[in-house]
Structure 1
């Protein structure tokens, strides 16, 4: 018998029973709830339901810890990651000529939290929506793996990625989750953001996302994933010499951001300390 599962089940069922009694749920409302959950399953939206209920972010925080360390904050992966993105060098362009949004150049280093030294040949797996808020696997007009790439840092752990500023988007649109949020008076908008999986052989992998500053939904993200440390800072670049330096022919926004990874040994120490605190 799984005693942990038994305890969790009793707690969940007990809480549900309390709500049923407090609000005097009737059989019509029960069937509505069951039909809703059935539709969620049929449309493959259980992860989305977990997101909008704040469950995904909360579990992510518990799993990866919220202690104050030098490492970059972890965040949820989301449902639209695709493995096997095109492998690229440390200077990469992941947008296509058809992407009409404002150009963004994201540059920085991958560093070790232990000693702040650069991590050569780290991998930065990046994926994002376009300026309209559409991912390529949702939009037949985008090329396969558009706005996705697997970037390898140089000997100094540096990377430079040319892309476009992603737009905000509605995560539910049509479907049971969208109807549910509307019924309880909540929106389903996410602020523009860029996803990352950053890895190096000596470190624990990092999954996170960076957010577009001044986005209209930055303070009310539908899944509550925004953190101040993950909001990008943009600088408008339009001087001719700067355009030449970055090998672009139009004004763009520049963001400098370093990803800091915990070494595997540090992760083991933190996990041991946390276990001792629990005891």
Structure 2
């Protein structure tokens, strides 16, 4: 009876200690990665290669996601606004929803699936085949050569992708509004520009920079922590994608709470 009553407490204690330890490991890894990214030496070729992989190659999937999201958002706003004869506010709501919330979050989630998993698999494979140990033997700091370029590229690329997402998403809403309520593109753009403020766009870009860092951090951390050969690399890939997505949504809530007070 005594054993049965103490087991749940012991399990809760172990889970708590493991959670705190995991947070500590991620925090130390992030601090070392930031230090490596902000101090020389840098590896320009690696940084440029990561910009191409993270940013440029993600344009098709981010662009398609943005257009369909803007179009679907416009359809839903039209459907709801039609009940109150408020269809004319469609451009303003689409623009606000895309720039402040949907643009940064959806672009980040697309990159979490594509980039975080790719980073984890690449670094995990290098860890499993002892290539990272070989770098250390050759006096090359893996944090500066592998981690820092990915953190830099993800943190800078995602705001640029978010800006493109905002433009394409608003364009998707414009096409739907032109078809549904015969609103000309000129009037749609004028209403959008009159309604949006600089802070609406800036807040989304700040969010996306944080999300980009989270994506790079989770991809590198889980890849560097991969153990157990191919199976361990597979687990690291899945963990990187899932943890990045969850942290993005959590960070979005926290940042939105802060920005809402501004």
Instruction: Name whichever structure is richer in strand by fraction.
Output: 1
TM-score exceeds 0.5:
no
Higher helix share: 2
- Give the number of the structure with larger relative contact order, counting CA–CA contacts within 8 Å between residues 6 or more apart: 2
